[in-house]
Structure 1
Amino acid sequence: MKRYPMTVDGEKRLRAELDDLKSVQRPKVIEAIAEAREHGDLKENAEYHAAREQQGFIEGRIQELEGKLSTAQVIDISTIPKSGKVIFGTTTDLYNLDTEEEVRYQIVGDDEADIKAGKISVNSPIARALIGKEEGDVVVVVTPGGEVEYEISEVHHI
């Protein structure tokens, strides 16, 4: 079975969503279905059909989350000795050699990626260019707008 890397924070968020779906959302939709059934004719009962559709989404998401969590390989970067090398889970300060801007990215699993929060997927072009490199290295990232050169300023295990 293929294992998928995930940070401790990413696993926590998926577990919290799963708990909410099972203990709050699922009972709520079951109650809504029961209430809608009491209104009689199910063929023309919009509340019933909407609740059943919602139930389908909830059950599908529960299965998806359980599958992801069962194949997750949770990596706690704070327990790995700092080596100055970019690996999964590290937060990396980069200096853009063209614009002279500093950016900071954490390399995370696919489900955790959120560019606005500075979290990039391990499978993104930037992460693929960075993995295995060290502080002081210059990397070239191919983007839709052309090549961008970054110098790795610092690698954090946070």
Structure 2
Amino acid sequence: MPGAALGTPPLSHTRPPQTAGLLVPFAPLRRLPAGQRVCGPVFAGSSDLGRADADFIAGGLLIDCKATTRPHKIGRAEVQQLAGYLLLDYDDTYRIDQVGFYLSRQGALIAWTVPEFLTALGSREPLPQLRGELSDHWRQTRVTRVAGASSSAHSRR
């Protein structure tokens, strides 16, 4: 399968339900209470990457929408983007337990449970630990950047 060697999880396809010949891919998700359907979620760590936000979260399913005519070309960059969104929810505000791509031109949802996704990416650590490590990394990067700017300004005096 293309992309599998690049550390991309194997794809599991879910066809959306059909109603009167029309695809209704989000029908089960629309029935969720409004508080469980979030468009453009912003994460605790979003500011670490210049205000990164995802497309949707519905009932714990983080969804990244792709409008491609060649879904087999979804690769490392797209998977890493999805993983990044998952990790940026440092405080687990959205209780994400699944991640996936919605392929709008195909009317298909490709989804994994979080453990399946992380295992397919080669992770051995649990999600909370990965989130903590990313948060610590960005905090340390900020401290280093601030310290470097401060000493640089001081040395110019």
TM-score range, shorter chain: under 0.3
TM-score (norm 2): 0.21
Larger strand share, 1 or 2? 1
Question: Quick check: which has more Rg, 1 or 2?
Answer: 1
